[in-house]
Amino acid sequence: MMNDIERLTEYIRNVSPPNKATVDRALEREFWLAKPRGTLGELETVAVQLAGIQNRLRPQHQHKLMVVCAGDHGVVEEGVSLYSKDVTFQQILNFSKSGGCITVLSENVGAKVILLDVGVDHDLPPNPRIVSAKIARGTKNIAKGPAMTREEAVTSILTGLETVLLEPYVDLVAAGEMGIGNTTPSSCMATVFTGMSPEEATGRGAGLDDKQVRHKVDVIRRALDVNRPDPNDPLDVLAKVGGLEIGAMTGVYLGAAIRKAGIVVDGFIAAAAATLAEKLCPGIREYMIAGHKSREKAHGALLDFLKLRPLLDLGMWLGEGSGAAVAMYVCQCACEHFNKMTTLQEASITDVVLWPDLPSRAIA
């Protein structure tokens, strides 16, 4: 029987690149749709990208999945957040009753919501939406030592991954999060993976003032000095300065790629998880669509590192998966135009000028 590391390695081997032949066929179809070429901008790029990911000339959006991964963080005791960790479980309860932003937006776009508890420091009541997969009651304080063991890090990834694999159908997948204090480990991970300084990687989180941000930078620097995470070992980074829910989000992305579903990446914490996924499984970024640009300071740098350009810039910085939920509707529009428009030939349009390609997000 394989151990968890071997299982994860085997899963990663099952991630193959999007189908280039299908991309070429989709580009040809997009070229001949009844409109000047390039006039739908990012909708065209997304449609072609999803065709290659799903390996079908008519990319689909009907089966949308939002996995909200939840876990607490010991580093909260350092005063890096305006809120106590009790808010984590209080919000998960709110989500389970459809009262949170992520549930409202996900339901509006027709996405199934799973609330995945991998590390909430509270016993959540039974609820059809809540999947209890608690690995620990939160991480340890990263300013004093490792967040978790390497085994717990691997388990968190496998939990998110296998949650996606259990779904009968998936076309578009996003990972949301709830974990008070989780911008701090995300900033640590961004620093390790991209070489940013702690100052460059640290934002205001849920609304810190300048003095509080400086303190947060100090905590992040201390966490990196104490733990010395190895940038060449993604599991070491997750175990030492990450979060259980960040690991689960990483697994969600891996599971989506195995299932050949488009990955819609949310904000800063989601981008940190996406970077970890790319480090574990080079090339998985080709499955990713950056849903939006968060106001969180280092989000843009992580998207640049992943070579992703955001679909939307709405000034959002809530997290939870909210930006990805909104972007799922854009992906739906991309699929609909591509699948349902007639071609120039079908519409009997002969007097047309084909515009040259316009600048767009790279598919590769």
Check residue 352 and give its pLDDT. Answer: 63
Check residue 363 and give its pLDDT. Answer: 36
Check residue 297 and give its pLDDT. Answer: 86
Across 265-290, average pLDDT = 98
Sign of the CA dihedral running 30, 31, 32, 34 = positive
Q: Where are the domains of the chain?
A: 64-333
The answer to whether residues 346 and 126 touch, using CB atoms and an 8 Å cutoff, is no
Q: DSSP for 222-275?
A: HHHHHH---TT-HHHHHHHH--HHHHHHHHHHHHHHHTT-EEEE-SHHHHHHHH
d(CA 152, CA 247): 9
Check residue 328 and give its pLDDT. Answer: 98
Tens-place pLDDT, residues 219-229 = 999 999 999 99
Across 168-185, average pLDDT = 98
Alpha helices in 55-168 (DSSP H): 86-96, 101-109, 150-165
pLDDT tier, 304 (very low <50, low <70, confident <90, very high otherwise): very high
In the chain, the percentage of residues whose pLDDT exceeds 70 is 96
pLDDT at 62 over 70: yes
pLDDT at 250 over 60: yes
For residue 191, the one-letter residue type is T
Across 116-129, average pLDDT = 96
- Phi then psi for residue 316, to 5 deg, are -85, 150
Angle in degrees, CA 166, 171, 177, rounded to 5: 65
Q: Which CATH class is domain 64-333?
A: alpha beta
Tell me which of 320 and 206 has the higher pLDDT: 320
Tens-place pLDDT, residues 3-36 = 999 999 999 999 999 999 999 999 999 999 999 9
DSSP structure class, residue 142: T
Catalytic residue among 162, 177, 320, 336: 320
pLDDT at 354 over 70: no
DSSP structure class, residue 343: B
Per the annotation, the verdict on 320 as an active-site residue is yes
Three-class HEC string of 11-47 = HHHCCCCCCHHHHHHHHHHHHHECCCCCCCCHHHHHH
The candidate with the shortest Cα–Cα distance to 147, out of 47, 246, 67, is 246
Check residue 364 and give its pLDDT. Answer: 31
